[in-house]
């Protein structure tokens, strides 16, 4: 008994998700990254708030928040594509903005 053919790049009915992509692994990666993000922000605030004088603690907390938010924006715009984009090396993808028209297009 033969198994059904695997979808190739030129088949008319391509699946919405590639065969190699495991939804459970991707979901766990997102959950783990969220946990790390949730615990890192208060940690940075406590560390930087304890280093400076008392009157500058709120200012340093907001600076840590701004740095954290800018890192999130850079990840969305560039880092995601480097992690999951077009393959360049076995462990690295081609860099580029993830929100370009070609990347967002659904065919």
Residue 55 within a domain: yes
- CA proximity to 85, closest of 68, 99, 73: 99
Structural domains counted in the chain: 1
Lookup result for tokens 């907001």: 62
Residue 6 within a domain: no
CA distance 34 to 40: 10
Residue 87 within a domain: yes
Instruction: Give the pLDDT confidence score for residue 72 in this predicted structure.
Output: 81
Q: For residue range 28-87, what is the model confidence (pLDDT) as tens digits?
A: 988 998 888 888 888 888 888 888 898 888 898 888 888 888 888 887 777 777 777 677
Higher pLDDT, 8 or 70: 70
CA distance 106 to 17: 12
CA distance 58 to 64: 10
Higher pLDDT, 58 or 22: 58
Residue 8 within a domain: no
Give the mean pLDDT of 13-17. 65
Instruction: Give the pLDDT confidence score for residue 78 in this predicted structure.
Output: 74
Determine the distance from the C-alpha atom of residue 60 to the mean position of all C-alpha atoms in its chain, rounded to a whole number. Answer: 26
Residue 38 within a domain: yes
| The overall pTM is greater than 0.85 | no
Which of helix, strand or coil describes residue 18?
Answer: coil
CA distance 14 to 36: 35
Range of the domain at 51: 25-104
Residue 62 within a domain: yes
Residue 14 within a domain: no
Residue 19 within a domain: no
């Amino acid at each position: 008994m033969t198994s059904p053919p695997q979808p190739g790049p030129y088949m008319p009915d391509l699946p919405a998700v590639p065969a190699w992509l495991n939804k459970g692994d991707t979901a766990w990666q997102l959950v783990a990254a969220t946990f790390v993000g949730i615990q890192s922000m208060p940690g940075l605030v406590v560390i930087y708030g304890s280093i400076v004088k008392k009157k500058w603690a709120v200012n340093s907390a907001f600076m840590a928040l701004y740095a954290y938010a800018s890192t999130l924006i850079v990840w969305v715009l560039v880092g995601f594509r480097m992690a999951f984009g077009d393959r360049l090396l076995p462990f690295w993808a081609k860099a580029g903005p993830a929100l370009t028209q070609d990347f967002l297009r659904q065919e």
